[in-house]
A = this chain, B = another copy of it.
């Protein structure tokens, strides 16, 4: 199948390009290299050394025996998006080409506006290009479990059947996102649902959990094929950050009480799930939502798992809670469904400890790169609008909710 991956230079994009090529799909990609710029703005770098796109493209062709169609450009530019669709004629589009950071979106008015406009407009341009150029194609859109927030009821996959005052309907599940970035994903989901309804487009909207992992097997041993791995406060995610902290001998740092519960999955599972979605498209006009994660975990439990594996490898790892820069519930009900992908054949890895061992070994090789900018591991961007480094806390605070509550 001809699959266009937007944001192909990113953490998921570059891994997916290789996973799809290994399965025999024809891969194309676009990227404006914004992720590299944003991480530099945070004063950070990828823990893994990443090649520039021309070198990546050469290595990709050497490994998979065929070139990757690639165009550098900005998805908010309609003329660019339309020309790429006309030239590549994708059968599926995997849309990763958004700014994926909650803290980055909370910095100030300019970052908030940038993230929402960038993400909303890029998605609108893709929807119009689908309508005008490839109306039968399938949009696989990367959303986030963070769109739902943490309601006190179970979280279905996108829609739920409810009874209200004696009548019933099937409705979109209410979203309660926790950052301007997460809301940009909700805005995108809403726009996609509407485009499917009025234009008969088909889309799978992936509410993805937090991904961790340094590699997929398909990358082999060629460092030019490595995907990036970020650990700064804006672009690093929980387990990846914990592993980077372990490798350089810094404490692992859950925020606040540390009982935030989220869905997680390894990079290889993310690739498996996305490919299942791509290879099993919905019907024309169908807007389908999958909650994509392997299992839910409490953040402190995860820190303890990383600590255990790291200590087995001889790293003397500690856990030290930090003031929470976010406004979020630190202990809450969390019961999201995740049946859709299992029904399509998803086989969860279910072996976090092996994955952590691979990650710690990979990151050990690049220890100096993490060490070089290690102050980025401590967050400073606060949800209340101020900006100062979080302090370590010695007794974990007890209030159920930090900050204002609706």
Contact = CB atoms under 8 A, between A and B. Distances in A.
Q: Say what secondary structure dominates the interface of chain A.
A: mixed
A163 B187 CA distance: 26
Contacts of A162: 153, 162, 164
Interface of A: 78, 108-110, 112-113, 116-117, 120-121, 124-125, 128, 131, 151-154, 160, 162-165, 167-169, 171-177, 180, 183, 186-187, 190-191, 193-194, 196-200, 285, 287, 327, 333, 383-385, 403-406
A406 B197 contact: yes
Contacts of A164: 153-154, 160, 162
A163 B161 CA distance: 11
Contacts of A197: 327, 404-406
A152 B199 CA distance: 23
Nearest to A120: B116
A212 to B, nearest CB: 27
B406 A131 contact: no
B187 A165 contact: no
Contacts of A385: 131, 199
A78 B109 contact: yes
B177 A110 contact: no
9 contacts: A78-B109, A116-B120, A131-B385, A153-B169, A177-B190, A183-B191, A183-B194, A196-B404, A285-B405
Contacts of A177: 190, 194
Given A109-B78, A194-B183, A197-B406, A174 B176 contact: no
